[in-house]
Amino acid sequence: MDVKDYIDTRRISEPDFLLFLVVFTLAGIGLAMSYSASAAYAQRVFHDSFYFLKRQLVWCVLGFVALYALQVVDYRLLAKYTKLMLFFSIIALLLVFVPGIGKSVKGSSRWLGSGAFAMQPAEFVKVFLVIYLAKVFSIEHETVAGNVMRLLVPMLISAIVFVLILLQPDFSNAMIVLLIAVLMLFFSGFPFIYLLTLGVLSIPMFYLLIYQVTYRRARILAFLDPWAHRYGIGYHIVQSFIAFKIGGLFGVGLGNGTQKIQRLPEPHTDFIFAVIAEEAGLVGTIFVIALFCAFGIRGIRIALHAPDDFGRLLAVGLTVLVCTQAFINIAVVSGKLPTTGIPLPFISYGGSSFISTMIASGILLNISRFRETVNEEIKIAGESML
């Protein structure tokens, strides 16, 4: 019998300062680059070069409020509300299809609300799913049937979320959901044969969802040879390549880039890393990549020192969620992956992405505050008393 089942044996300390410093720096870069990338467009369309910056500042404040609140609230309380989180997640993902409630942008129904109050539920659902999976996978079962249900139920929930996001359609976030579910399954200690089986069974699905959908197949062809499609589907990535070339080693200076002016698509959101490459050069891009690597290292360190399985899996899941999105975005912009709509965490303009990432960071900082202090002698003493 473990004394930890009866008393809280954790030691509370200060949150991980280096992780907070990384988050603060990335958010600062995000504000600067959001303004630089969007000022010309905002002036031309809204007659206010600060239009996007002012909104990003509001989301930045709200994000840091969320980070602080989740930093001080015990992360173990989150495990009690996973069913409620999933319920509201499913409802929100369904509401985007309801006329008058959901908002359609460029043929995709991904938003709730309108204007400055619009939100993208999928960004928050990814965080809630990580919390749910961390709770389910951290519970050990003594029977084979219990362990089978421990695998099948979360995979079914993940599949439902995957399908609802895919129907919006938002293939990028749907794939992130699937990837996170598989990685958390791996980190929770399930046999590798389970992952291999899931991978083999998924091959027909990926064939139907990717190669048999015209515009997705075209993106793959453009990825393989973007210059052959530089006036069509490959236009985006070719303009990104040009931005990297212009930027060189040290860049042309903040605000001096030209590719963001009616050349780069979505320069303040999906392709903001290309703006960084042009204006800050190779040095700037390496610095940003180093910050995300530091985020990953601190996140894994927090997971290794977490006092319980729930905290360990939660820290791993949230770290993987943030870093995976970051490196997918960077890989897309630099031509290493087909074009997709994953924003760059902390840096891309957008409230839903920024606040959800700050929520994940706040939970990570909270987990970093706790350490296990029970040694074997205390455990034995507890067993003898019981």
- pTM, two decimals, is 0.90
Q: What is the mean pLDDT of residues 162-185?
A: 89
Are the C-beta atoms of residues 220 and 228 closer than 8 Å to each other?
Answer: no
**Residue holding tokens 């409630």?**
101
**Number of domains the chain contains:** 1
Q: What is the mean pLDDT of residues 226-239?
A: 83
Q: Please tell me the distance from the alpha carbon of residue 127 to that of residue 157, in angstroms, as a whole number.
A: 14
Tell me which of 375 and 226 has the higher pLDDT.
Answer: 226
Per-residue model confidence (pLDDT) at position 3: 47
Q: 271-289: per-residue pLDDT in tens?
A: 999 999 999 999 999 999 9
In this prediction, what percent of the chain has a pLDDT beyond 90? 54
Distances in Å between the Cα of 323 and the Cα atoms of 293, 328, 356 are 8, 8, 14
In which domain, by residue range, is 188 found? 3-385
